[in-house]
Structure 1
Amino acid sequence: MTLVLAALAGLVSCQNYQTFLQKHVDNPRTRVQRAQRYCDIMMQRRRVMVRGNHCKPLNTFVHAPARDLVAACNRRPNAVGRHTTRRRLSLTNCRLLRGRNWPRCTYRAQQVRRYVVVNCRNGKPVHLDSTRP
């Protein structure tokens, strides 16, 4: 029984890591014909939404190898258990402009370089907590 529970825990962790990659990692950055449509296209392509098919108010895509985010999980956590990347990474923040229900969501893209703060499970990032300058 313990072996089965351990295997299931590993599967859930893997799925959370895979979901994290799908929702937050775009490396190299996907090229789109009109740069201002990057977020609209990526949010639809990656099926990023919140419960009930609502438009997600904010999502961040990281344009760095996933290994950089995994490496953050090996760094010392802050006081609340979050891990920060060693260096600033290239990001695109997608902020909802209008729309309520997916896929009719319109976003504004903002490209920045920031440190990424993640929650980790079993040595892999499973949630993008925040970014900082």
Structure 2
Amino acid sequence: MRIPLACLLLLSATVLSQDANPGYIKFINQHINGQMRADRCDHVIRTRQITKTDSNECKETNTFIRATTNLVKPVCGLAGEPYGQLTKSLRPFDIVVCTLKSQGRYPNCQYRGQARTRKIAFRCENGLPVHYDRDIVYFEN
């Protein structure tokens, strides 16, 4: 089966433009880390330069999802369900919640990390996660 070059180029451009979405790229930087550990909050937040929006103040809380983008992205589709204006995962994810210990300025932020298993809720745009909103306690049946 032969795929015309124009179709192949169009498909490639579509995939690349999705992944070039600035909100999605920021979401990945701030919230995706498959190897995250609770004792690595300070280092990862400093390395990724995560701060309050448009400032050099330490972010109060930042949550890392211990998964790949290939597992998180489908929550904006069949692996998620409406949750008010957000989308909620159908299944729980392992996460690390980093909470600021004391007020400070980047890069001198110190966090306390806590590992949890929760469903997650975020805002999706064009089928991609762009804003992490919260984790949701779930109870198995």
Count of matched residue pairs = 119
In the alignment, what sits opposite 1:42? 44
| Segment drifting more, 65-74 vs 38-47 | 65-74
Shift, 1:66, TM fit: 1.3
Of the three residues 82, 87, 90, the one matched with 1:86 is 90
Superposition TM-score, scaled by structure 2 size? 0.77
Moved over 6 A (4+): none
Aligned to 2:5: none
Indicate the residue corresponding to 1:129 in structure 2: 133
Q: Does 1:95 align with 2:102?
A: no
Which of 77, 81, 84 pairs up with 1:76? 81
Cα deviation for residue 99 of structure 1 reads 3.4
> Where does residue 57 of structure 1 map in the other structure?
60
Query: 2:33, 2:131 → 1: CA distance?
Result: 15
CA distance in 1, matches of 2:24, 2:31: 10
Q: Percent identity, aligned pairs only?
A: 28
Pairwise CA RMSD: 2.1
1:95 Cα deviation after fit: 0.1
- Where does structure 2 lack aligned partners over 5 or more consecutive residues? 1-16
Report the counterpart of residue 105 of structure 1 in structure 2. 109
> What SS does the aligned partner of 1:18 have?
helix
Q: CA shift at 1:77, angstroms?
A: 1.4
- After superposition, the Cα gap between the structure-2 partners of 1:21 and 1:125, relative to the gap in structure 1 and judged at 3 Å, is same
* Unpaired segments ≥5 residues, structure 1: 1-9
- Counterpart selection for 1:24 from 9, 31, 41: 31
Structure with the greater alpha carbon radius of gyration = 2
TM-score by length of 1: 0.81
- SS of the equivalent of 2:81 reads coil
Q: Is the 8 A contact 1:73 1:83 kept in 2?
A: yes
